[in-house]
């Protein structure tokens, strides 16, 4: 039977929003990332990162850097006893018209097929209304975190947003605690 999952945006949600991560040295985990993901692991909830990384398509860095960053991310999480069930990345630019660039739902749909996930009972946590829209487009629930771009998005874009989140959380750990309660896991 397909199961619910927690999808996570990357920049501004798991790691510090730094603009383009055009070098490994610019990748810094947010302090709540390891405990939040470990909490989901312990509850038996699948955790999947969905991220737009158009920097290589724009010519800012080689596409291989994205893999390098994700290898580093996995290592940092593993060192804290946390792990991801998948990382799904859109490497296209905005003008490419691909099906996977958020707010389009193809990354989440692909993960759902690969991992047998029930999107209607799943969540996407992100720091932008674009993430909240992605969740809605996939038939999942969007949660906005106030890290990264989140505080500014919430303060200045909330009124104009086409889709509102089911919950607004201070950071990823608070979001995860809310989700686990919503899922009836605590």
Site residues (CB under 5 A) for Zn ion?
90, 92, 98, 100-101
CA–CA dist 136, 119 (Å, integer): 10
Of 12 and 103, the one with the shorter C-beta distance to Mg ion is 12
Q: Check binding of 171 to Mg ion (CB under 5 A).
A: no
Exactly one of 7, 11, 107, 130 binds Mg ion (CB under 5 A); that residue is 11
List the single partner that 74 binds among Zn ion, Mg ion, none, CB under 5 to 8 Å by kind: none
Q: Check binding of 165 to Mg ion (CB under 5 A).
A: no
- Out of 9, 127, 131, 171, the active site residue is 9
Q: Check binding of 153 to Mg ion (CB under 5 A).
A: no
Instruction: Output the CA torsion 10→13→15→16 (10° steps).
Output: 120
Exactly one of 4, 5, 6, 9 binds Mg ion (CB under 5 A); that residue is 9
127 phi/psi in degrees, rounded to 5: -100, 10
Asked about 9 being catalytic, the answer comes back as yes
E strand segments, the chain: 5-8, 46-52, 86-90, 123-126, 141-145, 167-169
CA–CA dist 163, 78 (Å, integer): 34
List the single partner that 92 binds among Mg ion, Zn ion, none, CB under 5 to 8 Å by kind: Zn ion
CB of 39 closer than 8 Å to CB of 177: yes
**Binding-site residue total for Mg ion (CB under 5 A)?**
4
CB of 94 closer than 8 Å to CB of 52: no
Point out the residue whose Cβ comes nearest to Mg ion.
12
Asked about 67 being catalytic, the answer comes back as no
Q: Check binding of 12 to Mg ion (CB under 5 A).
A: yes
Per-position x/- string for 94-133, each x denoting binding to Mg ion as judged by CB under 5 A, each - no binding: ---------------------------------x------
List the single partner that 9 binds among Zn ion, Mg ion, none, CB under 5 to 8 Å by kind: Mg ion
**Two tokens, residue 152:** 């500014």
CA–CA dist 64, 44 (Å, integer): 31
Query: CA nearest 96: which of 85, 106, 86?
Result: 106
Q: Which residues contact Mg ion (rule: CB under 5 A)?
A: 9, 11-12, 127
Which residue numbers are catalytic?
9, 11
């Amino acid at each position: 039977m397909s199961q619910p999952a927690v999808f996570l945006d990357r920049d501004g949600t798991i790691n510090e929003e730094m603009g383009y991560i055009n070098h490994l040295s610019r990748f810094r985990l947010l302090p709540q990332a390891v405990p939040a993901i470990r909490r989901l692991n312990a509850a038996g909830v699948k955790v999947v990162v969905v991220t737009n990384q158009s920097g290589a398509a724009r010519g800012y860095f080689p596409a291989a850097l994205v893999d390098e960053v994700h290898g580093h991310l996995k290592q940092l999480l593993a060192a804290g006893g946390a792990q991801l069930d998948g990382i799904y990345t859109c490497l296209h630019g905005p003008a490419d018209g691909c099906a996977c660039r958020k707010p389009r739902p193809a990354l989440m749909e692909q993960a759902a097929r690969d991992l047998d996930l029930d999107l209607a009972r799943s969540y996407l946590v992100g720091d932008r209304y674009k993430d909240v829209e992605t969740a809605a487009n996939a038939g999942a629930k969007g949660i906005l975190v106030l890290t990264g771009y989140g505080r500014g998005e919430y303060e200045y874009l909330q009124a104009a947003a086409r889709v509102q989140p089911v919950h607004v959380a201070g950071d990823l750990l608070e979001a995860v605690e809310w989700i686990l309660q919503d899922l009836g896991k605590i």
